[in-house]
Structure 1
């Protein structure tokens, strides 16, 4: 029996990605992961709970209000050390962001390995929804009943 896809003069050549092509496609996602892992390793090693290691939040210093990022470094430190309850207490939105990054990065790697671009639908409605979520989080964590969201 003759294989139609065999190397014959009349069979179409379908390029197969070589190992170097796949490595090239995965270079940027690998670089992003290395940068994020390096940042998490640094925050895991240099405790943000100790004063003097990191600058204070300017909004918190000037107004006494917590911004949506307040507690993010302490949250990352807790995640590195496996203390997810403390991470959620320090900044719940940041923990959601870490998990979302992991999902998006995994999808990016799978699509890059297959030679397909990562397509994020960042429609204005979704961006407004993210902004509204951050605004609500910020307002609630600064109200008296939102003390459980304080870092």
Structure 2
């Protein structure tokens, strides 16, 4: 009885599955590398479609909230947390804030929900970076370390607690 020798690692593929595995990097159209075609870049219209569609959705939402006043009862549902407990969640006042922004009332927007206004500004900056990088064909990555996400959560939690205490009533919508 003979024992087969171990396959030589430099001898090439040993099975049909190994022979089908690409050797180099793989792109959207298949393997790429020396001697292989590089996939063509996406057209400008295809690269700009996601950020422009996102902007269209946000613009539609702000238009609707700008036309249908959340300060009048009956147009929007009551916040479930506020309806059940009487406590304001971090988003309470967000619709009123968006309505004020849509009408150019920055002071009213900050009074309704200041973190929401900061969020609108952050969205505008990130969207601008996204559209510029998409136009150049570059990827967009938000590489925040976990400590920043925890800090953001802590700020939102502190805002929520303070706005529900008697001395923080100026933060309530």
Structure 1 and Structure 2 fold alike (TM over 0.5): yes
Residue 47 of structure 1, aligned match among 44, 61, 69: 69
| Larger helix fraction of residues | 1
* Cross-structure match for 1:70: 92
Output the TM-score relative to the length of structure 1.
Answer: 0.86
Q: What is the deviation of 1:24?
A: 1.0
User: Which ranges of 4 or more aligned residues in structure 1 deviate by more than 3 Å?
Assistant: none
Separation in 2 of the partners of 1:43 and 1:150?
20
Q: What is the deviation of 1:123?
A: 2.4
Question: Structure 1: where are the runs of 5+ without partners?
Answer: 1-15
Q: Deviations over 1:99-145 (max 9, x none)?
A: 00000000000111111011101321111111101001101111111
The alignment status of 1:60 with 2:82, answered yes or no, reads: yes
Q: Does the residue aligned with 2:162 lie in a helix, a strand or coil?
A: helix
Which protein shows a greater Rg? 2
The alignment status of 1:29 with 2:25, answered yes or no, reads: no
Structure with more contact order per residue of length (Cα contacts < 8 Å, sep ≥ 6) = 1
Residue 106 of structure 2, aligned match among 84, 103, 122: 84
Residue 98 of structure 1, aligned match among 117, 120, 127: 120
| Number of aligned residue pairs | 135
Q: Does the residue aligned with 1:134 lie in a helix, a strand or coil?
A: helix
Q: Tell me how large the CA RMSD over aligned residues is.
A: 1.6
* Cross-structure match for 1:119: 141
Output the TM-score relative to the length of structure 2.
Answer: 0.75
Separation in 2 of the partners of 1:56 and 1:119?
36
Residue 168 of structure 2, aligned match among 136, 140, 146: 146
Question: Structure 2: where are the runs of 5+ without partners?
Answer: 1-39
